[in-house]
Amino acid sequence: MALPAAVVTPERVLVRTEATEVHLRTEEGEAAFLPGHTPLIGALVPCLLRVVEAEGEQRLAVHGGFVHVEQAGLVVLTPVAERAEEIDVARAQRARERAEARLAELRNAEAPPEELAAVEAALARAQLRLEVAAGGGPGTGS
């Protein structure tokens, strides 16, 4: 038995497949979905999303959104998602380096919490992209 699965952003449908499993992270923690899963709506945190199919696995960086599971299948609605093969690793490494440097500056300067949070979020996005592109394990890399 398969689980119809889709990953959708405002710009495009990244995945539409028959999955055997889908792994992601909600605000409640790591979650795995198999065919016949109980209906659920959950908020996603930025995470590695793994869609396991009979012929392999698709890996995506998902930057928030929602997962909706029902008898008809699973849909991930996200503002931004990237397939592993679409990630520009050099660009993500530069973004990580910039964020790390800026974070060090802000911590030394006792910056406002909202500015610190924005830089920490940028660092987390860059680290997630690098993890997904490298084929690392599940989670957010933190």
Pairing of strands 47-53, 40-44: unpaired
- Each residue's pLDDT tens digit, 2-24: 999 999 999 999 999 999 999 99
- The residues spanned by each domain of the chain are 3-84, 87-134
pLDDT averaged over every residue in the chain:
91
Identify the helix (H) or strand (E) that includes residue 102: helix 89-108
Do 123 and 44 contact (CB within 8 A), yes or no?
no
Do 59 and 135 contact (CB within 8 A), yes or no?
yes
- What are the structure tokens assigned to 46, written together? 């930025």
State residue 136's pLDDT score: 52
pTM of this prediction exceeds 0.75: yes
CA 76/CA 132 separation, integer angstroms:
17
Protein fold of 3-84: ATP Synthase; domain 1 (2.60.15)
- Each residue's pLDDT tens digit, 108-127: 887 788 888 899 999 999 99
